[in-house]
Structure 1
Amino acid sequence: MAEQEEDFSALPLPDRFQHKIWKVRKAAYEDAAKQFEITPDEHDPAFRPFLQDPGLWKGAVADSNVAAQQEGIAALCAFLKFGGREGCTRTRSHTLTLLVEKGLSSTRAATKASAKEAILLYIELDTAGPVIEELLPVLSNKQPKIVAATLAALTAIYHDYGCKVADPKPVLKILPKPFGHADKNVRAEATKLAVEFYRWLREAMKPMFWGELKPTQQAEMEAQFEMVKSEPAPKQERLLRSQQAAMARAPPPGAGGAVEEDELEEEAVEVDAFDLAEPQDVVSKVAADFSDQLASAKWKERKDALEALYGVLNVPRIKDGDFGEIARGLAKSMKDANIAVVTQAAQCIEVLAKGLRKPFSKYRSVIMSPILERLKEKKASVSDALGAALDQVFLATSLTECLEEILEFLKHKNPQVKEGTMKFLIRCLKTTREAPTKPEVASIVESAKKLLSESVEVLRSGGAEVLGTVMKIMGERAMGPHLEGLDEIRKTKIREYFETAEVKAKDKPKPPPQAAAPRAAPAAAAPRKVVGKKPAVKKPPPAPSPYAQEAPLAPQPTARSIPGSKLGAPKPSGLATPGLKAPLKRTLAGPGGAAPPNLSSPRRPVSQAPPPEEEPAPPPRIGLGRGLAGRSLAAKAPAAPAPTSVSPPPSSGLTAVERAELEELRLDKDRLLRQSDDLRQERSRLNSEVQELKNQNAQLIEDHTRDVLSIKAKETQLVRARSDCEAAEAMCGQLRREMERLKRALTSAERVNSPPALSSPGRDGTTDEAGIYRDTGMYGGAQDNGRQAFNNRARMSFNSALSEEKENTSDALDARYGRSKLSPDLGRNGRNSAASGSAGRNSPAPPPYQSSRMSRETSNDGTKDGNPQGVESWKRAAEVTSALKAKIEQMKARQGISRP
């Protein structure tokens, strides 16, 4: 066995990893872990075989022998720990699923711990996203113990790294599925994971999965949540390698680290359902006739339309779209006479602003003013709904955007509107994350001071609360100048609100502490001035006492110059020079004329006249920090040997120069302050103009979109109108042709029905239609041609005329005159032919229907000849003709055809 073991140990590690004997594999895993631990860096050759063949770890993690598997997963942990990010990314896809299925579900505690550590190392070396993506499919495994192990691994990931490093949204989406699992262990692990999410996200996690739980499960979860509500906000317990590197590069002082921790805590608390939810498109779900329903005369229909809109908009996150028409409709509903409609509209505005957030800012100018105007309602339910809508509008925008309208409505004549606006302003100041600028603070304070003088106590208290809240944001020192002129009672009340106010805005004026440092330096220079005065007192003894009094007067301007030196840019840097030159002055004061030759300079001879008594004044000038002042003082030292002319020159020489320079510095300071104020105001004005231009741009974009849609609609209408016009023209042409045809038919019918006297007897029956009334074709048996022509033409004209009016008159004429009058053939072939044969040549020929009737009448009388009955037959024919004309006129009147 010993020889075999030696042979096995001589094999390369990759070969031993795949050996048939489990003891050889186990020994190989142990040797690999030891080699990894002693490598100097992640680029060592020991890692190369496992980077080139990542599949080796697949066999190690899923080793069939539990003892060898334990060492294999431990070797993987060592490889990840010392191998760096490349080892993580290359082996992750081969091992993660097996670590959960084979490692976390193992019966050995050491194997479970190593598998969990390996999963956490995969996240530490890279990011959490790929690891979670690999673990989520395992939740669908058929074995409950594997599903429970996966949930436990996810819980460990979020516990150690938190929801900022590991995105909770993918897991929250599938969390309801484990809650419905049949195995109790799976449900228990799901509960632990949900509690861990609650530690980080609080109530923001509920909209993602809460509605899919059973009521009993919700009650159990609420009980679990109550247990962790009192715990402090969780912190990230394990850092990524990238975070560790950033902390190593960061400066060591702990102040910055403390600030970062506080910021991390605040960010963890700020996570809400909006950040976790996916945007939903709700514009397409809004009813197409929403605007028409809002314009209904019945308040019930308007309220129903708003309720339907609320159901569509009430989602955690809304995808940005064109909500201009909806916003205008909601703003119009704020003026509705029915308070139920107003309340429902306010709720719609609330959910719309809550779901859109920043994109809602372009609709703020449309909606905010109508809401503030409606604050006059005294009913609590309406005012609460309006207040909630205003709060969401503010959260979706900023204090700068809303402040102008708020201050405008603080001047409203209605006390109810003024009170509601004041409360809204207080809520804005408490919830804003950005402190107002100095111009904004000035305008807020000015409006609040006016509220302090109101006759209503609520408004006075509100004004004090506004000032106290602003003081909490800006600080007592910054608010001091604004409170000047107020009586002590009001100041006391403002301070009470200041002490109890809770704000979220961070004070912007943090640079002032840096400005305070240079101020402290001149303050330190003040005692140096006093020290300089003491040697000056020692020098004046040779001079008269009045000069000694002038000596302390000389430093007074320098004491005034201290504030000027604070504002001068180079002054702080010169603070080191006074310390060097101060001893020089003392030596000059002691020896007197010993030092002058050494300190002489081209500029000093000009100022040698001043006496040494003025030397104490220069030290503060030196402390203020310019080399020029130091040189002038050195020049004064050589002038010390002439004590006789000491006092007159100082008052007119160096002191005047110092004062002139001091005045220049003060003028420069004032000029710079004015320029700074002007630039600040200009910047504020430009910011407001930029914001106004943004709003105008958004409005123009909206108007352009609306115009484009309107143009497209008009084009569509125009195309339809053109097609309708063409169809109408075609129909008019058809009707016109039909009318002409009817006119021709009527003309022919009238000609057929005209009396015989109107016909021209001189025309031949074969060439003209008027010849049908001649007797040549009717009674002359010998003239067959004329009779045939008459019969053919009469039959054609009469049939064409009656066929056009068949639908309206055929039934009536059939009932009255019988079928024979409509069929000229009957008159030719039947009894009408007999009558025509017996008639004389010179008698006029009646129309076919008249001749047929006449033939019937003559046949009834039993007489064949037309001589005795001729007159009576013509009378009856005239009656029939007049009746037919009347029918034709009625028919024409019924169809609206005018006689040509």
Structure 2
Amino acid sequence: MADGEEDLSALPLNDRFVHKNWKVRKEAYEAAAKEFDSATSESDPVVRQFVQDASIWKGVVGDSNVAAQQEGLAALCSFLQIAGTQGCTRTRGITIATIAEKGLPSSRPAAKQKSLEALMLYVELDKPDPVIEELLPILSNKQPKVIATTLDALTQIYHAFGCKTVEPKPVLKILPKVYGHADKNVRAKAQELTVEFYRWLKEAMKPLFWGELKPVQQQDLDKLFQKVKDEPPPKQERLLRSQQAAKAREVAAPEGDDVEDEEEEEVEIELELEYEPVDVLAIIPKDYSERLDSKKWKDRKEVLEEVQKALNQPKIAEGHFDELVRGFAKSMKDANIAVVSTAANCVELLARGLRRGFSKYRSTIMNSMMERLKEKKATVTDAISAALDAVFASTSLQDCLEEILEFLKHKNPQVKLEATRFLIRCLKTTREAPSQPEVKSIAEASTKLLTESQEVQRSAGAEVLGTLWKIMGDRIMNAHLDGLDEIRKTKIKEYHDSAEVKAKYKPKAVAPPPKPAAPVGKKPTGKRPAGKKPAPAAAAPPPPPVEEPTAPLAPKPTSRPGASKLAGPKSGLAAPSRLGGLKKPGSGIAAAASPRRAVVSPDFEEAAPPPQPKLPSSLGRGLAGRPLGKPPTESAPPVAPSQAPTGLSLVERAELDELRAEVERLRRQNEEVRTERTNLTSQIHELQNQNAQLIEDHTRDVLSIKAKETQLVRARSDFEAAEQTVQNQRREVDRLKRELSRQVRATSPPPTDLADQIYTDTNSNTNGGARFGDSGYGNQGFYGKRERSLANGPTSPSGEEGKENFDGSLSRPDSTLSGKLSPLRAGAGSAMSSLSSRGGGRISPPENGASSMRESQAAAGAESWKRAAEVTQNLKQRIELMKAKQGIGKSHQ
């Protein structure tokens, strides 16, 4: 037993995963989980093994033993943690359905938890859409428990990741079907999922499924919605791996915004129903333009109402609506307000139906509508405002801002006020924050509104600034609010606190400064030290070149003029030597010329004039080469030639060339290695796919062979059973043949032989008749003769004849005939009873239990009975004659 356990533990993990003993499988799952937890990356061999053989996980998560299944689900979670996106995509199509059908409804809480965690990891590692697609068919399962647990898992997924990350439309559309389920637990879980959707979507989710619910269900849901209606907006509790990486990059990037900008945006999720576009141009009246030019306002209103009815579609197909929109713009100037309102309603319907397709008609209609905002009738301004909102929804703030700002300067106060309110609505609904130039234009126009004479205008201007402040943040808006007094700032702050916006300004990350190019890549030409022609001596290296490593080791001069001379060359060569590269000689001299860089160390408190160390007398005698200050001291000439960095030595140049060649060679090697690695990776993927295909083909072949073997074993078993049946039937047939032949022989003897035998017996017994008296011819004599002639003698006729023949006066011939005609006993399953003895005097009838075979045989021997009866009758007559001749009857009397 111990040897067997050692052999099982020595098996590979994938073989132990499919072992028939559940204990072996359970131990294998535990061992695999430990190895996955200890793996360092997804390229670890044990991880790659189970990524390639992904089909093995289906049996793991659906193990028939609940204890083993629990450990298998734990192993899957550990595997997904380390396998990453590749392990997720290779296994989710195999395991998710099994997890939902067997893992989530498990009787063990730990197994349920691991099943839910596995689904969460599948969502987190890649994207949630494939997981939702795999779970939706489970909602049609026959078992209510499976449907209920799947709904609960969906609730947990949306609670953790949110409807912003996980698309809610597919689940919302299938909710009415779930609400019609007969099981109350399923309906209760559906309500929990619906409440979770309401926490994220509010009223926006109702158009997708609300109308298909029963009124009672709607009332119950409304009661549940009231409990969560006042809760703060939910936040995503668990991030996708892509979101985690983006957040890590944001944390690593330098933060330039205030703390307020770091807060998460509250974005309303909008759900749009999917409708088929309708071609409304075909149903618009053909005489639209003619009727719109009518002098009667009723005709104009009627044609606009017909157009409004035609445009009342959820989605409108693209087409040429230029003439239609020009008619609407013309109607905006109509003297009748009913025509204006109807035209505004038509614009709203067309903009909502075309959506983004309406943007090309914006410039045609927007000015006319805003100009008509001067109407004081509330119904007209409301209709135009709704149409303007629909136009803005089909475009963007950048498209509409220029015209809005123009109308903020309108001479009509009503137009100015309504334009300001329209701008406020645009700022609250836009999803893209305005740019800084646009912010400046909006802030300037709104600041002018703060000086209006009417309070409503001032409040509208303050609301614009407060809403803009909410979008852009303190850092940008402080510059536009600094010149305002405290009263106005307080008013703007109030609107800022109460504003609800959908956009949030995020400054673009400042690109990091480009890294300085490696000094190795620069050409050590060392030219143009002073930018003038008289200084070419500095360009060419002097005959005794100064090596760079020796420069820092030069002794510190005692005189300050000499120190100032040494400062320039050292400052020019120190930085390149620390960076591992070289700088141009000209740059070193130019650096020495700067007054700020003249002092190299704190020991040099007094810096000499820069031209003195820069340009010694050996550099040239031109005007550009002469110093402007006092001539250098006597110690300057011997120091300058030895310390000036006039160029590179031959050794340094050779070393630089070697380094460049080495860098180029390493670059080429890196490219070759990268190319080879790409090729090998593609080959590995191809081989993995081939291996997976071969494994699948091998599994299919093995299953086919096993099926054929099973069919062969069954066929052999059926053949043996049939052969045994045939043998039994043959034996039965042989037995019946023998029985039939025996019965035929027994029941049909030749009549001639019987007569001869009777005749012989009669003659032989004539002389000995005295022996067959009443005492000698009793039952004993008859039975003795009957036993001897049982096999060959014929059966006797009816019982009455037997009684007549076997009385006490019969002679021996009669007894012999009776012995010959006695019936057979039941030796071979006969159905007829034996004849009675001579003392009985008759033959007993056949018994009721005789078989059908014996009856058929008896019917076949009826003719033999007739012949025997005739012979017996003849014999009786002869016997009577013989008695008369011999006087036997008288002697007996």
| TM-score (norm: length of structure 1) | 0.51
Matches within 5 A, 1:256-271: 262=262, 265-266=264-265, 269-271=267-269
Shift of 1:241: 3.2
CA distance in 2, matches of 1:478, 1:40: 46
- List alignment gaps of at least 5 residues for structure 1: 516-573, 605-627, 641-900
* Aligned counterpart, 2:94: 94
Question: What is the aligned partner in structure 1 of residue 434 from structure 2?
Answer: 435
Aligned counterparts of 1:14 and 1:323: Cα–Cα separation in 2: 67
Query: What amino acid does structure 2 have at the position aligned with 1:393?
Result: V
RMSD of the alignment, in Å? 4.8
- Quote the residue 1:178 is aligned against: 178
Q: Residue 218 of structure 1 aligns with which residue?
A: 218
Q: Residue 376 of structure 1 corresponds to which residue in structure 2? A: 374
C-alpha separation between the residues in 2 aligned to 1:91 and 1:201? Answer: 32
Which protein has the larger Cα radius of gyration, Structure 1 or Structure 2?
2
Contact 1:601–1:635 (Cα < 8 Å) also in 2: no
Task: Output aligned runs, 1:186-201, within 5 Å.
Answer: 186-201=186-201
* From 277, 291, 297, the counterpart of 1:295: 291
The yes-or-no answer on 1:499 pairing with 2:493 is: yes
Amino acid at match of 1:292: Y
2:462, 2:492 within 8 Å by CA — same for their partners in 1?
no
Give 1:420 shift. Answer: 2.5
Name 1:28's counterpart in structure 2.
28
**Distance between the aligned counterparts of 1:496 and 1:256, measured in 2?**
26
Q: CA deviation at 1:158?
A: 1.8
Contact 2:471/2:504 (8 A) holds in 1 = yes
Counterpart position of 1:416: 414
Change beyond 3 A, Cα 1:108–1:444: closer
Q: Is the 8 A contact 2:433 2:471 kept in 1?
A: no
1:320: Cα distance to partner? 4.8
**What is the identity, as a one-letter code, of the residue corresponding to 2:125?**
L
- Cα 1:78–1:289 change in 2 (3 A) is same
SS at 1:135 equivalent: helix
Tell me, yes or no, if the aligned pair for 1:290 and 1:305 is still in contact at 8 Å. no
**1:203 partner amino acid:** E
- Report what 1:164 is aligned to: 164
1:467-506 Cα deviation digits (max 9, x unpaired):
777788789998999999x9x9xx5664344333336576
Q: Which SS does the other structure have where 2:162 is aligned?
A: helix
Task: State whether residues 61 and 73 of structure 2, in contact with CA within 8 Å, keep that contact through their aligned partners in structure 1.
Answer: yes
Q: Work out whether residues 73 and 114 of structure 1, in 8 Å CA contact, stay in contact via their aligned partners in 2.
A: yes
- Distance, in Å, in 2 between the alignment partners of 1:399 and 1:392 is 13
Q: Aligned to 2:433, what secondary structure does the other structure show?
A: coil
SS at match of 1:269: coil
Counterpart for residue 109 of structure 1: 109
> 2-side partners of 1:12 and 1:104: how far apart?
29
Label 1:316 to 1:499 Cα distance change in 2 as closer, same or farther (>3 A). Answer: farther
**1:281 and 2:280 aligned:** no
Distance 1:15 1:367, change over 3 A: same
| Preserved CA contact (<8 Å) 2:443 2:480 | no
Cα separation, 1, equivalents of 2:595 and 2:400:
52
Letter in 1 for 2:31: D
> Structure 1 residue aligned with 2:332, among 327, 334, 344?
334
Contact 2:283 2:310 in 1 (8 A): no
**SS across alignment from 1:165:** coil
Q: 1:473 to 1:184 in 2, by over 3 A?
A: closer
- Give 1:436 shift: 5.7
CA distance in 2, matches of 1:467, 1:127: 40
Q: Deviations over 1:590-643 (max 9, x none)?
A: xxxx95699544499xxxxxxxxxxxxxxxxxxxxxxx9xx99x9879999xxx
Partner of 1:14 in structure 2?
A: 14
How much does 1:430 deviate? 5.4
Counterpart residue number, 2:207 = 207
Measured after TM superposition, the shift of residue 152 of structure 1 is 1.4
Identity %: 56
Which amino acid in 2 is paired with 1:405?
A: E
How far apart, CA to CA, are the structure 2 residues paired with 1:241 and 1:472?
30
2:392 maps to: 394
Distance 1:639 1:232, change over 3 A: farther
Q: CA shift at 1:93, angstroms?
A: 1.9
SS in 2 for 1:209: helix
Bigger Cα displacement from structure 2, 24-33 vs 413-422: 413-422
Instruction: Report the equivalent of 1:715.
Output: none
**Alignment check: 8 A CA contact 1:32 1:75 kept:** yes
In structure 2, the partner of 1:84 is 84
Deviates more, 1:473-482 or 1:127-136: 473-482
Contact persistence 1:233–1:269 (CA under 8 A) = no
Q: Which residue of 2 aligns with 1:689?
A: none
Shift of 1:413: 5.3
In the TM superposition, 1:403-482 aligns within 5 A as 403-410=401-408, 412=410, 414-428=412-426, 432=430, 433-435=432-434, 438=437, 441=440, 445=444, 449=448, 452=451, 458-459=456-457, 462=460
Q: Tell me, yes or no, if structure 1 residue 350 matches structure 2 residue 348.
A: yes
**In 2, distance between residues paired with 1:410 and 1:20?**
81
| Contact 2:80-2:88 at 8 Å conserved across structures | yes
State the number of aligned residues: 542
Q: C-alpha separation between the residues in 2 aligned to 1:221 and 1:347?
A: 34
- Determine helix, strand or coil for the equivalent of 1:163: coil
Change (3 A) 1:222 1:348: farther
Greater CA deviation, 348-357 or 170-179?
348-357
Structure-2 separation of matches of 1:164 and 1:338? 46
Contact in 2 for aligned 1:8/1:16 (Cα 8 Å): yes
Note closer, same or farther for the CA distance 1:220–1:287 as it changes in structure 2 (3 Å cut): same
Where 1:20 maps in the other structure, the secondary structure is: coil
Distance 1:110-1:374 versus aligned 2 partners, 3 A rule: same
Q: Give the superposition deviation at 1:10.
A: 3.5
2:472–2:505 contact (8 Å) kept in structure 1 = yes
Shift of 1:44: 3.0
CA shift at 1:52, angstroms? 4.4
Per the TM alignment, residue 231 of structure 1 is displaced from its structure 2 partner at its CA by 3.5
Structure 2 CA distance, aligned partners of 1:478 and 1:66? Answer: 61
Partners of 1:638 and 1:585 in 2: how far apart? 25
Cα distance in structure 2, aligned partners of 1:474 and 1:133: 39
Q: Deviations over 1:827-859 (max 9, x none)?
A: xxxxxxxxxxxxxxxxxxxxxxxxxxxxxxxxx
**Cα distance, 1:269 vs structure 2:** 1.3
CA distance in 1, matches of 2:139, 2:226: 28
Q: Give how far 1:346 is off.
A: 2.4
Residues 599/302 of structure 1: CA separation in 2 closer, same or farther (3 Å cut):
same
Give the 3 Å change call, closer, same or farther, for CA 401–180 of structure 1 in structure 2.
same
More helix, by proportion: 1
Q: Which amino acid aligns with 2:44?
A: D
Q: 1:66 to 1:510 in 2, by over 3 A?
A: closer
- Provide the rounded CA distance (Å) in 2 between the counterparts of 1:446 and 1:372: 17
Give the structure 2 partner of residue 41 of structure 1: 41
Displacement, 1:339? 3.3
Secondary structure at 1:27 match in 2 = helix
